[in-house]
Amino acid sequence: MQRAKSGLESISDLSIRTDACLADYTRFGLGGPADVLAEAGTEAAFIAAIQSVRSAGIPLEIIGGGSNLVCSDEGFRGVVLRYIAQRIHQDVNCVTFEAGAVLQDLVDFTIDRGLAGIHTMTGIPGWTGGAVYGNAGAYGHSIHESVSRVRFFDGSDVREFGNAECQFRYRESIFKQRKDWVIFAASLELTPGDATELRKQADEILAVRNAKYPPTMKCAGSIFKNLLFAELPAGAQAEVPPKVVREGKVPSAWFLEQVDAKGIRNGGIQVADYHANLIYNEGDGTAAQVREIIDDLKARVLARFGFRLEEEVQYIGFR
């Protein structure tokens, strides 16, 4: 670590913490210490940090707001790097934002200016870079519908992609497939709307979301992706009631309910008794217990329906 640490300390616009507890950087509130946690405030600092760590041969993980992360109880032996630039700028109907901006701040920014397109994403935790990375969305809409450009670092150069090049799919993008690429900024093309009406719609959505996922709850929201009905095995399709299918998707919670997932507990980690796709930390849980419950639920659904659920969460530090 010493060579990498020394190199990082000489980089401007980079803050460094040693033995940083990753639990402090995740919504689950779980995770042991990282040898070094570095936060870059500029693209240049971020690129310099990556180059320094890689040239020293030190393990590296890049994270954002931590809303969808499960970090190992043992922590991470290496450098965890975050890009924290967070400016948001409007040019008529185009809004450009840096990846470290809080997603709710971006949603509020657009609503306040009477721009429609991402107001249904109110209440989704995390940062904007992660929202583009995972094509976040809610209530039948995803952020890819509004994305016009994405600026990113491919490990060698800073590049830009248009919407089609990003290969957005349901909760997917090319950036999720190329984990060596890092989003720096993106632009949205939005539609003019009435700010008062947009705020009203957003507040109604937020009330529902907060009832399901209280802001103080230590969780990652939905654990598993919903399923595209057309991609399910024929046997599973035959069992799904038509009323459950919405916009071509089946909630993973429906399959989990059929295998009695609600209320399952493992130590301090529990599946909510009112929502089968919600796992939360009661305060004394461990990341290992989260992983064990996730593996158990996947095994149950596989045995019953013949397919594997896919997590929305990402893992750090697990062997």
Catalytic residues: 171, 222, 312
User: What's the angle, vertex CA 263, arms to CA 238 and CA 250, rounded to 5?
Assistant: 25
Q: In the numeric block, which tokens belong to residue 171?
A: 């909760």
Transcribe 198-247 into DSSP letters. Answer: HHHHHHHHHHHHHHHS-TTSEEEEE-B--EEGGGS-HHHHHHS-GGG-BT
Say which residue the tokens 């009631």 belong to: 241
Question: What is the SS3 assignment for 145?
Answer: helix
Instruction: Confirm if 223 and 279 have CB atoms less than 8 A apart.
Output: yes
Compute the distance between CA of residue 292 and CA of residue 30 in angstroms, rounded to an integer.
14
List CB contacts of 319: < 8 A, sequence separation 6 or more.
Answer: none
List CB contacts of 235: < 8 A, sequence separation 6 or more.
Answer: 305, 306
Report the chain's terminal Cα–Cα distance, integer Å. Answer: 20
